[in-house]
């Protein structure tokens, strides 16, 4: 929800204090809908209200019978009829067909409507496409979509996912994931839109619009509700491991980590899921300041705040901030939690009811939570149409959706190195495809694909691996396969079988060029934790052995986070970072390597060179220092493998005539930046034009650069386009240690590639 800014008082000729407040929350509500909610709540018992606040896993109401998941009517009756549960979630171990989903969810709805006259809201982790509905469209993971720097691509993919999810009778997804991935050790880097808060905010906004449409009060049958996750500060745990504590200055939490959630709220997001871990010593599930004061009151969020998986239990079993489950429930609900994801424990309903009767949770808090839940169900149209029929969705799994996914994969793979223009590959070359990622679908799709950990090999047999896609594009006689290193598919994601590197070396004698496909197997959440950021010894030894053959190596990185490759990168003539491009990603790679399409993606995160030298592109100026003279040799120069925003193309671009519409500006000004971009190469290409800023001097140590705008254009050889982008002056501000926003008098540098312009803020401003 957008906020108004109103100047309160002029402190001096050089200082202005302003305040911001949310629009009246009711201004964007449908008043007739609110009246219906009032009438319904007046009839509801405490048991019914508490039940609406509970969410249970599908496993508690049924079981697999052959290839079909079947609801057990007696179990469902207990959950719905007795405990009045208002939401069910998740896939039962693996994805279902659309037909099976309809049977399951419609059976739940029948019971829910008959018992209470209130529909259930079902939720799935459709995190990068229709991941839990068999036959649906799988898209590249979010980290890839960020690499595209293309908002429209994100919007289109989300729209297709919403359509296909609703085709299977599900109205709610726990997506998009918008944590800032600012620690490469973290196993959930690939689920998010990278390390930058502006890029993440823009992609979040586009995703919400694609999933939900543009009218949050009336979401039609081709769209679904989103759940922004994981609020707040999840992506930078001190240990680098999943669900472990983070320690983030409040000014950085507010300025950077809050930004994507703010953008999602402004776009109309109907729900928000909470960070499983603690931040600055307080579990986010009981952080009333950030849940209620900031999210609900300051940002005007009128949707549902839902816990992550069993996280209320963690408050007393892991975080140790409650003595038992009842106390954990009381603290969480009073802090602002509206719905508890309690996958298998119906005791939540009993304990919350007791807490209300004992006066530990006020009825006003229960009513607020239930109102939000009912509002989401009304907005989704579930009261009028509890179910959607697949016959009304003829484009489910359509070829055009698959084509969009493949085209997205083309636009989201990053060319990092291309010495001597070894790429695109010349026709007729004999190619060896090797490495553990060469002939498996799992690392192409990643986690949250058919199953939690991404067991794509058992479900995507009709899709191409890298080896298969290369054979199709370059001819079976020209492409051979010898893995050398393989994953233990029955073990941990990092486990590998005994290497057979000598076989690959022998095979290399028969070819002209080698495609070494390395990286990570699929993983998700905590099982993806690691202790060593370096690529495995086996894989690096494979590349080292191949380098001694004298054949050129194209290194294909297929990984969920940047694994250290500093010792083998110099051995490769070319490097492509596929990231996790989805099940059409190999076909897209083959198109790119053949030169049928051009690379246009940029790095969405900083790729580290060393395990003990981890940083982000927006580091503070004082983190970069030269070698000191004398007895002490403090070498703190920033040294990375590839920086945020880096990406090469088969063509070249030049930039000229950078202009700004004003050199002096105030708080409410818009700064228009124009630059001429020319394709100086001999092939067509897309390029993302990124605008960075630098505050030259500030009252807290300024950062060396911040992304402020981006747009993507297509240029034919020799073509020039003038690119115009606008930056709001207030977006150049930072949050100070006082929790206020500051835009301070002085010079700012704006930069596009090698072109620079200077602008000047004429006075100091401060606002809430």
Burial 375-403 (b: 16+ CB within 10 A, else e): bbbbbbbbbeebbbebeebeebbeeebbe
Tens digits of residue pLDDT in 664-713: 999 999 999 999 999 999 999 999 999 999 999 999 999 999 999 999 99
Residue 41 CB: number of other CB atoms within 10 A?
16
One of 242, 308, 695, 764 is an active-site residue; which one? 308
Instruction: List the beta bridge partners of residue 20.
Output: 5
d(CA 440, CA 115): 47
Query: What pLDDT is attached to residue 346?
Result: 96
Tens digits of residue pLDDT in 362-412: 999 999 999 999 999 999 999 999 999 999 999 999 999 999 999 999 999
713 Cβ neighbours under 8 A, 6+ residues apart: 677, 686, 687, 689, 721, 723
DSSP of 609-634:
SSTT----TT-BGGG---PPSTT---
Check pLDDT > 50 for residue 17. no
d(CA 69, CA 678): 57
d(CA 240, CA 186): 5
Confidence band (pLDDT; 50, 70, 90) for 97? very high
Angle between helices 347-357 and 325-335 (to 10 degrees): 70
Query: What pLDDT is attached to residue 24?
Result: 38
Q: What angle do CA 645, 599, 158 make, to 5 degrees?
A: 75
Burial 619-657 (b: 16+ CB within 10 A, else e): eebeeeeeeeeeeeeeeeeeebbbbbbbbbbbbebebee
Q: What is the dihedral of CA 247, 251, 255, 257, to 10 degrees?
A: 10
Query: What pLDDT is attached to residue 570?
Result: 98
Query: Which secondary-structure segment (H or E) carries 31?
Result: helix 31-43
Query: What pLDDT is attached to residue 629?
Result: 53
- Its pTM stands at 0.95
Tell me what percent of the chain is helix, strand and coil, each rounded to the nearest 5: 35, 25, 45
Mean pLDDT of all residues in 516-534 = 98
Query: What pLDDT is attached to residue 12?
Result: 31
d(CA 479, CA 473): 10
322 Cβ neighbours under 8 A, 6+ residues apart: 315, 316, 328, 331
Residue 354's alpha-carbon distances to 214, 326, 328, in angstroms, are 40, 9, 13
Are 281 and 319 in contact by the 8 Å Cβ rule? The answer is no
Query: Which secondary-structure segment (H or E) carries 745?
Result: none
pLDDT more than 70, % of the chain: 95
Residue 407 annotated as catalytic = no
Confidence band (pLDDT; 50, 70, 90) for 181? very high
Tens digits of residue pLDDT in 472-511: 999 999 999 999 999 999 999 999 999 999 999 999 999 9
d(CA 592, CA 636): 38
């Amino acid at each position: 929800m957008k906020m108004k800014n109103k100047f309160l008082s002029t402190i001096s000729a050089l200082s202005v204090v302003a305040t911001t407040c949310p629009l009246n929350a009711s201004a964007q509500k449908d008043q007739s809908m609110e009246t219906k909610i009032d009438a319904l709540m007046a009839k509801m018992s405490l048991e019914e209200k508490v039940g609406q606040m509970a969410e249970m896993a599908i496993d508690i109401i049924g079981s697999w019978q052959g290839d079909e998941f079947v609801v057990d009517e007696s179990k469902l009756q207990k959950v719905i009829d007795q405990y009045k549960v208002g939401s069910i979630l998740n896939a039962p171990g693996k994805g279902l067909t659309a037909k099976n989903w309809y049977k399951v969810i419609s059976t739940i709805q029948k019971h829910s409507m008959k018992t209470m006259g209130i529909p259930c809201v079902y939720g799935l982790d459709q995190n990068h496409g229709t991941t839990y509905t068999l036959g649906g469209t799988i898209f590249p993971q979010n980290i890839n979509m960020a690499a595209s720097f293309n908002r429209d691509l994100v919007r289109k993919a989300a729209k297709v996912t919403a359509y296909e999810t609703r085709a299977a009778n599900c109205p709610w997804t726990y997506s998009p994931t918008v944590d800032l991935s600012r620690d490469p050790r973290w196993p959930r880097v690939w689920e998010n839109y990278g390390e930058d808060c502006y890029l993440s905010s823009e992609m979040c906004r586009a995703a919400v619009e694609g999933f939900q449409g543009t009218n949050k009060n009336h979401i039609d049958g081709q769209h679904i509700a989103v759940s922004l996750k994981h609020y707040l500060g999840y992506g930078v745990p001190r240990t680098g491991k999943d669900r472990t504590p983070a320690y983030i200055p409040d000014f950085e939490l507010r300025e950077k980590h809050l930004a994507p959630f703010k953008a999602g709220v402004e776009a109309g997001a109907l729900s928000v899921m909470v960070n499983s871990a603690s931040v600055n010593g307080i579990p986010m599930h009981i952080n009333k300041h950030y849940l209620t004061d900031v999210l609900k009151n300051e940002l005007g969020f009128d949707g549902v705040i839902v816990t992550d998986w069993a996280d209320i239990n963690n408050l007393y079993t892991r975080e140790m901030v409650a003595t038992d489950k009842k106390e954990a429930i009381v603290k969480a609900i009073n802090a602002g939690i509206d719905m508890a994801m309690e996958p298998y424990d119906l005791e939540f309903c009993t304990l919350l009811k007791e807490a209300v009767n004992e006066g530990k949770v006020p009825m006003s808090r229960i009513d607020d939570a239930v109102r939000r839940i009912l509002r989401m169900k009304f907005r989704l149209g579930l009261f009028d149409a509890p179910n959607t029929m697949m016959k009304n969705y003829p484009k489910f799994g359509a070829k055009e959706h698959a084509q969009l996914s493949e085209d997205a994969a083309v636009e989201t793979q990053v060319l990092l190195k291309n010495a001597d223009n070894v790429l695109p590959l010349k026709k007729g070359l004999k190619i060896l495809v090797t490495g553990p990622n060469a002939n498996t679908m799992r690392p192409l799709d990643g986690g949250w694909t058919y199953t939690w950990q991404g067991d794509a090999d058992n479900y995507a047999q009709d899709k191409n691996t890298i080896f298969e896609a290369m054979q199709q594009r370059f001819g079976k006689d020209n492409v051979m396969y010898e893995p050398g290193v393989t994953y233990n598919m029955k073990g941990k994601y990092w486990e590998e079988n005994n290497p057979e590197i000598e076989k690959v070396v022998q095979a290399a004698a028969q070819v002209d060029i080698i495609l070494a496909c390395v990286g990570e197997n699929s993983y998700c959440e905590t099982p993806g934790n690691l202790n060593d950021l370096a690529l495995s010894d086996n894989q690096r030894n494979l590349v080292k052995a191949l380098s001694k053959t004298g054949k050129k190596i194209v290194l294909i990185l297929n990984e969920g986070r940047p694994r250290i490759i500093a010792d083998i990168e110099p051995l490769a003539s070319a490097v492509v970072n596929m990231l996790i491009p989805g099940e059409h990603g190999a076909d897209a790679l083959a198109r790119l390597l053949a030169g049928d399409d051009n690379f246009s993606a940029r790095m969405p995160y900083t790729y580290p060179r060393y395990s003990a030298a981890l940083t982000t592109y927006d580091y503070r100026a004082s983190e970069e220092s030269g070698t000191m003279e004398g007895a002490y040799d403090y070498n703190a120069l920033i040294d990375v493998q590839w920086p945020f925003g880096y990406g090469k193309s088969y063509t070249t671009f030049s930039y000229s005539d950078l202009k700004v519409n004003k050199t002096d500006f105030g708080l409410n000004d818009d700064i228009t930046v124009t630059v001429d971009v020319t394709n100086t190469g001999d092939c067509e290409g897309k390029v993302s034009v990124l605008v960075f800023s630098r505050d030259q001097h500030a009252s807290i140590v300024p950062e060396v650069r911040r992304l402020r705008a981006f747009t993507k254009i297509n240029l034919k050889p020799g073509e020039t386009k003038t690119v115009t982008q606008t930056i709001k002056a207030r977006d150049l501000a930072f949050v100070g240690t006082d929790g206020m926003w500051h835009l301070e008098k002085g010079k700012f540098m704006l930069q596009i590639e090698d072109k620079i312009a200077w602008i000047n803020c004429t006075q100091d401003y401060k606002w809430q």
